[in-house]
Structure 1
Amino acid sequence: MTKILFPTDFSNVATNAFLHALGLAKLVHGELILLHTYELPIMDNQFGIQNYKEVYDSIELSNLDMFKEEIPKLRKIAEENGFESIKMSHILTDGDLLHSIKETVKKEKIDYVVMGTSGASGWFEKLFGTNTGEAITSLKVPVFSIPEGAKYSKIDTIGFTTRFREKDKVALQNVIKIAKAAKAVVKCLYVETNESDNSATVYQEWETLFKHEPVQFFIIPSEYARETIEDFITSQEIDVLTMISYKRTFFQWLFTSSFTEEMAFESTIPVLAMHE
């Protein structure tokens, strides 16, 4: 069964992302593993061993109590939204969040990670000024990032940015599986700049290869990739944007704080980051 890791701090941002995680689990016939981490404080040498233990025990107990209190709330949310059949398990651990995510991904053989994003002024900062951004750049599994303004709804259209590389085909095939489960269409975008090295032959090859799939291709000549993607999201009513290249410099180039103001915080959409 497909395994989806959902790190949560039980905040409103995380709770909003929880519905998206449930929706993905339903589409891929998967199960959710909820992960909550907390960090123990660093104390100076003035504390004796007994004092250390008392402090640590207190923090662990407090987090365990909160965990026990919050999990039933999430289960209730799942039931109220028709996801009661989704299998869920839970992990509570101390330590750095990203380290805990990496260890859990490895130990549990996770297929997807779903995380909420928030807290910065520009689209790039929303994505990369958070633990979600660090997860996208460091994990080897797809990361589904959910902006806090992105309310869960049925997926009808999935955007897929491509450079028409051979390795992109595998990612597109995986996206098609999700699209078919959602009865959605995949709209592939290639921004053709003056430096583009693809040809009409390559475009035709891809269209032929995927002609029996729910896929449409858009080749848009432009020197403004950032703005072209933004316009594409709006004009094609994209519900989820899938991107393949996760090198931080690539995303910095696309999404900086100068990203147009029209891309308002509450209108941003989920991004599925897939590794090449």
Structure 2
Amino acid sequence: MKRILFPTDFSDVATNAFVYALELAKIMDAEIIVLHTFEMPIIDYQYFPENYSQLFDSFELATFEKFKDEIPKLRALAEKRNLEHITLYHKLMDGDLISNIKECVVEEKIDFVVMGTAGASGWKAFFMGTKTGDAISSVSVPLLSVPLKAQYKTIRNICFTTRFRDKDINALKSVLEIAKITKAEVKCLYVQSLGSDVTDEKIESWKKLFTDEPVTFFIVTSELIQETIIDFIDIHEIDVLAMATYKRSFFEELFVTHLTEKISYKSNIPVLVLQQ
């Protein structure tokens, strides 16, 4: 059985992402590991020599109580969506979030991670060092980052951007595996500028390689790469934008430039990140 890791701080952002975790678990016949992490406060024991351990015990207990109180809310959400049959396991871990995610991915044999991010207003933070952004370069399995304002709907169209590099091939294969499970179509987009070094032969070789797969290749000539991608998302009713991690700098530029206002309208879709 597949396993989905859902890290949460029980915020509205995280709870919205939980809906995606539930729906993907249904489609993938998966179970969900709900992970909540906390970091112990830094206390100078010189000033608390007698009750040092009591302070930590009290902090741990308070964290556990909050965790215990929040779990029924997630179960209630599952019931509301008629997904109470999805198996939920719960982990409460002390330490750094990213370290704990990486540890869980290995120890729990995780296949997929679903996390929340702040949405259009938070894209800059997402790519410039927030917890979710840090996870991009740290997690070895596909990671779906869900903006707060994203409303779950059936995943029918996935956009995967490429420059036809050889290392994009495995990323596209991973996207196609997910597309087959969700019964979605993959639209592989290449925005070709005048200085492009991608040959027609390279493009044709990719088409032949994926000839039997549910993918359509779109070659759009434009010098306005970012605008073209955003328009493509809108025109083709894209439900998920897929990217490979080595393109992080490109997507930083995409999401934090002067296009902010336009992106605020377009960007409330999840981003699927694939480690390369």
Q: Give the TM-score of the pair, scaled to structure 1.
A: 0.92
- CA-to-aligned-CA distance 1:196-242 (integer Å, 9 cap, x gap): 22222222222223233221110011222211111111111100000
**Matches of 1:223 and 1:267, distance apart in 2:** 21
**Secondary structure of the residue that 2:36 maps to in structure 1?**
strand
Distance 1:199 1:158, change over 3 A: same
Amino acid at match of 1:169: I
8 Å CA contact retained: 2:5, 2:113 = yes
In the alignment, the residues of structure 1 paired with residue 266 and residue 188 of structure 2 have an alpha-carbon distance, to the nearest angstrom, of: 24
2:58 aligns to what?
A: 58
Question: Where does residue 15 of structure 1 map in the other structure?
Answer: 15
1:38: Cα distance to partner?
1.0
Equivalent in the alignment of 1:275:
275
Offset, 1:37:
0.8
1:189 counterpart = 2:189? yes
Distance 1:180 1:119 in 2: 27
Distance in 2, matches of 1:252 and 1:232, equals 18
The CA distance in 1 between the partners of 2:201 and 2:68, in whole Å, is 58
Q: CA deviation at 1:257?
A: 4.1
> Which residue matches 2:139?
139
**Letter in structure 1 aligned against 2:31:** E
Of all paired residues, the percent bearing the same amino acid is: 54
Matched ranges for 1:15-164 at <5 A: 15-118=15-118, 121=121, 123-164=123-164
Pair 184,269 (structure 1): closer, same or farther in 2 beyond 3 Å: same
Q: Which amino acid aligns with 2:149?
A: G
| Aligned alpha-carbon RMSD (Å) | 2.0
* Equivalent residue letter for 2:72: P
- Secondary structure in structure 2 of the residue aligned to 1:263: helix
Compared with structure 1, are the counterparts of its residues 128 and 60 closer, same or farther at alpha carbon in structure 2 (3 Å cutoff)? same
What residue in structure 1 maps to residue 213 of structure 2?
213
Question: In 1, are the aligned partners of 2:33 and 2:88 still within 8 Å (CA)?
Answer: yes
The one-letter code of the counterpart of 2:207 is E
Question: How many residues matched?
Answer: 276
For residues 268 and 172 of structure 2, the distance between their equivalents in structure 1, rounded to whole angstroms, comes to: 22
Q: CA deviation at 1:266?
A: 8.0
Residue 254 of structure 2 is matched in structure 1 by 254
Q: Relative to structure 2, which stretch is displaced further, 4-13 or 259-268?
A: 259-268
Q: Is this contact kept in 2: 1:242–1:272, CA < 8 A?
A: yes
8 Å CA contact retained: 1:27, 1:181: yes
Q: CA deviation at 1:122?
A: 5.8
Contact 1:2-1:29 at 8 Å conserved across structures: yes
Contact map agreement 2:119 2:268 (CA 8 A) in 1: no
Q: Could you say what secondary structure the match of 1:149 adopts?
A: coil
5+ residue gaps, structure 2: none
Q: For residues 27-77 of structure 1, what are the alpha-carbon distances to aligned partners after superposition, in whole Å with 9 as ceiling and x for unaligned?
A: 322221111011111112443344111111111111111111111211121
TM-score, length basis structure 2? 0.92
